[in-house]
Amino acid sequence: MHTKKITDGVFWMGAVDWDRRLFDSLVPLPDGTTYNAYLVEGSEKTALIDAVDPDMVDTLLGHLDGVEKLDYVISQHAEQDHSGTIALVLDLYPEAKVVTNAKAKGMLMDLLLIPDDKFIVVADGETLSLGDKTLTFILTPWVHWPETMSTYLAEDKILFSCDFFGSHIATSDLFVRDQGRVHEAAKRYFGEIMMPFRSMIAKNLEKLSPHDIRMIAPSHGQIYDSPGWIVDAYKDWVSGTAHNLVAFPFVSMHGSTRLMVDHLAAALSEREVRVELFNLAVTDIGKLAMSLVDAGTIVLGTPTVLAGPHPMAANAAFLANALRPKAKYLSIIGSYGWGGKTVETLAGMIPNLKVEVLEPVLCKGLPKDDTYEALERLADAIAAKHKESGFTA
């Protein structure tokens, strides 16, 4: 059994995926990831909390070699990177039962064809005794699927949080040792996956507050043995207060839009508004998602293509609409050759954003003096709005 001991009777049983660079055929993984499973051995019963991605099944089976008896498999989340190998675990331990909530049970039956009689269904706040260790199940819906839950080990004060507080990092470290690196990865994870559910996550943070949590053991990334800072970070990320930041995704075909982007970025900086530029032709969308976590304003720069926005700009608008960031203001700038409906098209793509649209700036061909004057006015408007709104640094 090649495991790592967390504390007496609690072991990491996960897999480190050093090579994976794309998740869900969508999310970039510049640092790989981990799939964390945990074994809790009580004086009477033994439970495995979650499993691993099917691609890493041999690693999990290697960890289980030497575990003679397994009574329970706790499934906190039905997504296959955590549940996909549960059926194989059940083949190894035919007496084991899958412990999960009612909503997750239905999803596991659909996704993995686990038969009905293999389940024990638990309710919110219900406990399961392993003898000298007690598991309490805390339903945490929409972090990030409707069936997700966390598990609290009372005697050791460990919260097994599933995707809650997760981060995609491949490393041999069991515990967080580089807080700066993990903070960035956790923020990327939040931006890409959790941000649309900010209001539910805020409620779930409150739900966790009565518990004395000494460690947080997520299903991706390292264990937080000093978890206060990541809880505080989540509180900031889910809050309604944006930062004094403009997230500025753009694309330029022949340089005209880029001239406008550079001018506006410089004008905002002169007005002490932070700007983060994302050239959509080359950017990592995870970095853009991280910027959207904090941004008070989104400015989208695009040329006109066939009477509408460049497809990369349309994709950025679609992404922002899906992620539902806390930004309060939005504007569009760009160049066109003969005409079109770029602004109208983009505005119609963001119904989920509760933003005030500031006066767009479009120009025909290369930007001229009147274009630069309009960009200066837009910079003035953004700076004033940020000040009025009390956005933090």
Residue 349, in any domain of the structure: yes
Among 239, 263, 296, the domain-final residue is: 239
Asked whether residue 210 falls in the same domain as residue 75, the answer is yes
Q: How many angstroms separate the CA atoms of 298 and 318, rounded?
A: 13
Residue 74, in any domain of the structure: yes
Residue 47, in any domain of the structure: yes
Asked whether residue 219 falls in the same domain as residue 265, the answer is no
Residue 393, in any domain of the structure: no
Q: How many angstroms separate the CA atoms of 85 and 269, rounded?
A: 50
Q: Is the pLDDT of residue 339 over 90?
A: no
Asked whether residue 351 falls in the same domain as residue 266, the answer is yes
Burial readout 214-244 (b: 16 or more C-beta within 10 A, e: otherwise): ebbbbbbbbbbbebeebeebbeebbeeebbb
Q: What's the structural domain count of the chain? A: 2
> For the segment 120-141, what is each residue's pLDDT rounded down to a tens digit?
999 999 999 999 999 999 999 9
Q: How many angstroms separate the CA atoms of 77 and 163, rounded?
A: 8
Q: Are strands 149-153 and 134-139 parallel, antiparallel or unpaired?
A: antiparallel
Among 239, 255, 286, the domain-final residue is: 239
> For the segment 218-272, what is each residue's pLDDT rounded down to a tens digit?
999 999 999 999 999 999 999 988 999 999 999 999 999 999 999 999 999 999 9
> For the segment 285-337, what is each residue's pLDDT rounded down to a tens digit?
999 999 999 999 999 999 999 889 999 999 999 999 999 999 999 999 999 98
Asked whether residue 77 falls in the same domain as residue 14, the answer is yes
In 3-state terms, what secondary structure has residue 155? coil
Among 239, 269, 295, the domain-final residue is: 239
Confidence of residue 1 (pLDDT cuts 50, 70, 90): low
Q: How many angstroms separate the CA atoms of 160 and 89, rounded?
A: 19
Task: Specify the pLDDT at position 338.
Answer: 81
Task: Dump the DSSP string for 257-319.
Answer: HHHHHHHHHHHHHHTT-EEEEEETTT--HHHHHHHHHHEEEEEEE--EETTEE-HHHHHHHHH
Asked whether residue 213 falls in the same domain as residue 129, the answer is yes
Asked whether residue 149 falls in the same domain as residue 180, the answer is yes
Q: Which domain holds residue 338?
A: 243-386
Q: Which CATH number does the domain housing residue 224 bear?
A: 3.60.15.10
Asked whether residue 83 falls in the same domain as residue 41, the answer is yes
Asked whether residue 229 falls in the same domain as residue 334, the answer is no
Q: Which tokens is 249 given?
A: 């995704």
**Is 278:286 a contact under the CB 8 Å cutoff?**
no
Confidence of residue 2 (pLDDT cuts 50, 70, 90): low
- DSSP conformational letter for 253: S
Asked whether residue 262 falls in the same domain as residue 171, the answer is no
Asked whether residue 43 falls in the same domain as residue 152, the answer is yes
